[in-house]
C-alpha cells in the first residue's frame, strides 16, 4: 500500500465510520478497486485508522461529556458485551471474516432492509429517552449487545448501535450520539488489541502509511460527525438503507 492509497482509504473510513453504511464494507470494496491485497498489514491498517475517527469524536464531545459520569457509566456498560465477544472471537474475525466479500455483501443487504423496515414501523414517542445519562443499565447493556453484532464485516457498528438504541427507547438523535461516544472505548480496544497482536512490528514505510491514514480519517470524521447530527434532526435512515442495498448489488456485480 502506498501513501495515496492510504489517504483514499482513510477518507473513506472517516466518512463512513459513523454513518449506518458500514465502513468495513466500503474499505473492502475500495481495496478491491485499488488492487490492494488483503495482507495482515492492510487488515491492521483498516483497524488502526479508526483511531483518527475516534479523535474526531473526542474533540467534538470533550467539553459536553468530560464530567458527565452517569453518561460514561452507561457507555462503559454498553462497551462490555463487545469487549468480551470481540476478544473471544478476535482470531476468527480477522482470519475468516475481515476481507470476506461475500460476508460483506450479505451484511450490507440485510442491514439495508432492516434500516428501511425500521423507518416503516418506528414512531418516536415523547417518553423515549432524550439524554444518554438517563438510560438504564439494562438498556445500555442491550445496546452493547446490538453493537457486538458489528464484528461481522458489513454490518456497520453505527447501524447496529443506532438501530438497537431506537428499538430500546432512545430518541433518534440520542441513539446517534450514543453511537458516536460508544465508538471511543470500542475502537480504542479493537485497535489496541490488534497492535498488541501484531507486536508493533511495522517498517518505517508502513508507519508513514499509518500516519497518513490517521490524519486523513480524523479530518474526514470531524466533518461528517458535525453534518450527520444536523442531518438526522430533520431526516431519517430510509435512504441509508437504500444506499446499502445498492452498494450490495454493486459488490455482487464486481464479484461476478
Contacts of 215 (CB under 8 A, 6+ apart): 10, 52
Q: Any idea what DSSP says for residue 149?
A: G
- Rg (Cα) of the chain, in Å, rounded? 17
Cα–Cα distance for residue pair 80/252, rounded to 1 Å: 35
Phi-psi region at 35: left, alpha or beta (left = phi > 0; alpha = psi -120 to 50): left
In order along its 256 residues, the chain shows pLDDT tens digits of: 889 999 999 999 999 999 999 887 788 788 888 888 877 788 778 878 888 998 999 999 988 888 899 999 999 999 999 888 877 776 676 666 665 677 888 889 999 999 999 888 878 888 888 899 999 999 999 999 999 888 887 888 899 999 999 989 899 899 999 999 999 998 888 777 777 766 667 788 888 999 999 999 999 999 999 999 899 888 889 999 999 999 888 888 876 6
Of 52, 98, 96, the closest CA to residue 209 belongs to: 52
Q: What is the pLDDT of residue 224?
A: 94
- Residue pointed to by grid coordinates 418506528: 122
Of 172, 237, 188, the closest CA to residue 53 belongs to: 188
This prediction has a pTM of 0.84
Q: What is the pLDDT of residue 138?
A: 93
Q: What is the pLDDT of residue 96?
A: 62
Cα–Cα distance for residue pair 135/130, rounded to 1 Å: 9
Q: What are the sequence ranges of the domains in the chain? A: 3-255
Name beta bridge partners: 129: 170
Q: Where are the beta strands (DSSP E) in the chain?
A: none
* CA within 13 Å, CB half, 73: 10
Cα–Cα distance for residue pair 79/8, rounded to 1 Å: 29
Helix-then-strand count for the chain, H and E: 12, 0
Collapsed DSSP state (helix, strand, coil) of residue 129: strand
Q: What is the pLDDT of residue 132?
A: 93
Collapsed DSSP state (helix, strand, coil) of residue 19: coil
Q: Where does 122-197 have alpha helices with state H?
A: 137-148, 157-167, 172-197
Cell of 169: 427507547
- Residue pointed to by grid coordinates 440520542: 174
Cell of 218: 480524523
Burial of 30 (0-12, 13-18, 19+ CB in 10 A): middle
Amino acid at each position: 500500500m502506498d501513501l495515496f492509497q492510504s489517504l483514499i482509504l482513510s477518507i473513506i473510513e472517516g466518512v463512513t465510520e459513523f454513518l449506518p453504511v458500514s465502513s468495513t464494507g466500503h474499505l473492502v470494496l475500495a481495496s478491491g478497486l485499488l488492487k490492494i491485497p488483503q495482507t495482515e498489514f492492510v487488515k491492521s491498517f483498516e483497524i488502526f485508522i479508526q483511531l483518527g475517527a475516534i479523535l474526531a469524536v473526542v474533540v467534538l464531545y470533550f467539553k459536553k461529556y468530560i464530567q458527565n459520569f452517569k453518561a460514561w457509566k452507561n457507555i462503559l456498560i454498553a462497551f462490555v458485551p463487545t469487549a468480551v465477544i470481540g476478544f473471544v472471537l478476535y482470531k476468527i474475525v480477522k482470519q475468516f471474516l475481515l476481507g470476506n466479500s461475500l460476508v460483506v455483501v450479505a451484511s450490507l443487504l440485510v442491514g439495508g432492509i432492516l434500516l428501511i423496515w425500521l423507518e416503516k414501523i418506528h414512531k418516536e414517542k415523547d417518553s423515549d429517552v432524550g439524554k444518554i445519562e438517563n438510560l438504564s443499565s439494562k438498556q445500555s447493556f442491550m445496546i452493547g449487545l446490538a453493537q457486538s453484532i458489528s464484528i461481522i464485516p458489513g454490518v456497520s457498528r453505527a447501524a447496529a448501535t443506532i438501530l438497537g438504541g431506537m428499538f430500546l427507547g432512545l430518541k433518534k438523535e440520542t441513539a446517534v450520539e450514543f453511537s458516536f461516544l460508544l465508538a471511543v472505548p470500542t475502537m480504542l480496544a479493537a485497535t489496541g488489541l490488534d497492535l498488541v497482536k501484531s507486536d508493533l512490528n511495522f517498517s518505517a514505510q508502513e508507519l508513514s502509511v499509518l500516519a497518513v491514514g490517521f490524519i486523513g480519517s480524523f479530518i474526514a470524521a470531524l466533518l461528517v460527525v458535525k453534518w450527520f447530527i444536523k442531518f438526522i434532526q430533520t431526516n431519517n435512515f430510509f435512504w441509508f438503507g437504500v444506499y446499502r442495498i445498492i452498494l450490495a448489488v454493486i459488490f455482487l456485480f464486481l464479484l461476478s
